[in-house]
Amino acid sequence: MEIQGKVKLIGETKTFGNNGFRKREVVITTEEQYPQHILVEFVQDKCDLLNKHSVGEAVKISINLRGREWTNPQGEVKYFNSVQGWRIESLQADQGGNAIPPVPPIEAFEPAEELNEEDHDDLPF
């Protein structure tokens, strides 16, 4: 699955437990009639993917939806969902790459050479 929007916030990388589990969060604001602020988690080595992105940038994030079941000390079962990112791409670079390049000014072109009367009818048939 993928989501697109503008980066609203990029959190710092946080480390948990003795195993060194790493997690970093980013908030994306979708660009639709009713914009949504979506929290996406990047974990372990994927945390570093956010280093080259900044707030306000238009991005596309490839995500997986994760669900967990947890039983609290009172025996009640609770369910939790998370959105986990595994790839992030800048959309601004893509849009620039698909644009038509500007036409150079007329002065940049050389004038065409004049044709001789003899050269205009040199077809072999």
Q: Where are the beta strands (DSSP E) in 21-98?
A: 21-29, 37-43, 58-71, 77-90
Q: Which CATH number does the domain housing residue 20 bear?
A: 2.40.50.140
What is the structure's pLDDT at 10? 96
Q: In terms of residue numbers, what domain contains 85?
A: 2-95
Q: Which of 35, 29, 32 is nearest to 57 (CA)?
A: 29
Residue 118 lies in a domain: no
- Which residue is listed with tokens 């609290």? 72
> Residue 4 — pLDDT band, cuts 50, 70, 90?
very high
Q: Is residue 115 part of a domain?
A: no
Model confidence pLDDT, tens digit, residues 67-125: 999 999 999 999 999 999 999 999 975 555 555 566 666 666 666 666 565 555 666 65
In a domain, 43, yes or no: yes
Query: Which pLDDT score, from 0 to 100, does residue 77 have?
Result: 96
Query: What is the rounded CA–CA span in Å between residue 10 and residue 15?
Result: 16
pLDDT of residue 107: 64
pLDDT of residue 3: 95
Between the alpha carbon of residue 25 and those of residues 47, 49, 61, 90, the distances in Å are 8, 11, 12, 17
**22 falls within a domain:** yes
- The domain tally of the chain equals 1
Residue 74 maps to a domain: yes
- Any domain includes 76: yes
How high is the pLDDT of residue 92? 72
Structural element, H or E, at residue 14: strand 14-16
pLDDT at 23: 96
Note whether residue 123 is domain-resident: no
Q: Which residue has the higher pLDDT, 97 or 51?
A: 51
pTM score above 0.75: no
List pLDDT tens digits, range 12-47: 999 998 999 999 999 999 999 999 999 999 999 999
